[in-house]
Amino acid sequence: VTSLDGRWRRIISLSKKRWDVLQKMKEEYRLVVVLFYYEGLSLRDISDVLNIPIGTVKSRLSRGKEEIRNVLEGGNGNGKI
């Protein structure tokens, strides 16, 4: 039971860290990241939902992933996170 409790604590901690990172992102990046990774929408679907070109979706997804990567590696992205 103890190892299970420890595992849940790590999962909750990781989930909280992800949420904290997402909350601090620029909204335009956060929306695309959440729709793609958490809601499972395709790039085309995100483009349709947000009414933006698919190239913009790809760009925002890339920039959002870069911000997340910077934070998780100990940096602070563009200074906003």
Return the pLDDT at 1. 44
pTM, rounded to two decimals: 0.71
Kindly give, in sequence order, each residue whose CB lies less than 8 Å from that of residue 63, ignoring residues fewer than 6 positions away.
29
- Name the more confident of 4 and 46: 46
pLDDT band at residue 2 under the 50/70/90 scheme: very low
Q: How confident is the model at residue 8 (pLDDT cuts 50, 70, 90)?
A: low
Q: Summarize pLDDT for 12-65 with one digit per residue, the tens.
A: 565 777 788 888 889 999 999 989 988 899 999 999 999 999 999 999 999 999
Contact 76, 65 (CB under 8 A): no
